[in-house]
Amino acid sequence: MEPRPSGTADETETGWVVAIGTSTGGLAPLGALIAQLPRELAAPVLVVQHIGPYRSGLAARLAGLGVLPAREACDGEPLRPGVVYVAPPDAHLLAGPQRLRLSHGPKVNHTRPAFDPLLRTCALAHGPRAIGVVLSGRLDDGTAGLQDIKLCGGLAIVQDPGTAEAREMPMSALNNVAVDHCLPPEAIGQLLARTVAQPPPPRQWPEAAVARIRREQAASEGRDTMAFLCADAEPGLQTCPDCGGTLWQVRGSRPPRYACHTGHVFSLHALARAQYAESEHVLRSAVRVLRERAALQRELEALERQRRDARAALQAGHEAHAARHQADSLVRLIEREEFGGGRPG
């Protein structure tokens, strides 16, 4: 590892930074963790929960569960120790060396805010002073970002899956990252309090890892996407569910990940979920069109009967019946997939 250059405004010395990510079933463990953090905590705490574009009262709830002030993050505000910053709706929360950034860039793992971009920027800006924590959630957001935290010398902590309502996010991290600690939420809070009370380690990064992580983060923000794809991915056969572009498979990613030229990124599981949602949308749109066609053909049948054109009326009736039958068959297919175990994740 080579020391990062210093002396510029962008490289000002910083202390510890804690990044926490969660999704389904995350409120209880997040609250239990926050309740263990002391008022004099020597690190900012950055929180991402998968809330999409919807308003959330998470910051206010966290403020009432512990002694630390908690608020939704604002673009450009300084990182201050002892403050909990929560990602707002429909924006990725990113960490700079001294300030927070909000990005409305492409979705990651079919969600915005996502946890991977926060972890990646913490790794880039803070290196071994970054601590990533994965709590309860479905699928595997956070795994790739936690790998970046480790590559830059930071600390990886995961909730014990046995204490999680949704085990997938913790299990994915455990299966694919050299995790430093796997603990119940309360114990994670206590560990964080002890860890950040110690002097932070020197700011040193492995330069090769930093270059690759920088390329991916730029692509994640919709900048220089082809530079990342050409250097770190191979063209694939899948198409992006979000924009329809070609997906490239990221080299050496574990679990497999895919990115498009727009900047959307998916893990294998997230891609399967997004494709399922897209196919369901297409099928339900087809059901609507077929039902509308059946209704129109019935009107046409009635009109032809008024005109005493029995042959045309019979043809319209047959087409109405066929359209209705096709719509009902699609509905049964969709319901069989939903309730018969076909839904991924």
The verdict on whether 267 is a catalytic residue reads no
- Out of 141, 220, 232, 264, the active site residue is 141
Cis previous bond, 106, omega within 30: no
Question: In whole angstroms, how far apart are CA 244 and each of 49, 199, 228, 278, 284?
Answer: 27, 48, 19, 11, 19
- Torsion angle in degrees (nearest 10) through CA of 109, 115, 121, 126: -150
Residue 212 half-sphere exposure toward CB, CA atoms < 13 A: 17
**Backbone phi and psi for residue 46, each to the nearest 5 degrees, phi listed first:** -110, 130
3-state SS, residue 312: helix
Does the annotation count 141 as an active-site position?
yes
Annotated active-site residue in 50, 110, 126, 269: 50
Residues 6+ apart with CB under 8 A from 22: 29, 30, 47, 48, 49, 50, 115, 134, 135, 136, 137, 169
Alpha-carbon gap, residue 280 to 343, rounded angstroms = 10
| 50 tagged catalytic | yes
Active site residues: 23, 50, 141
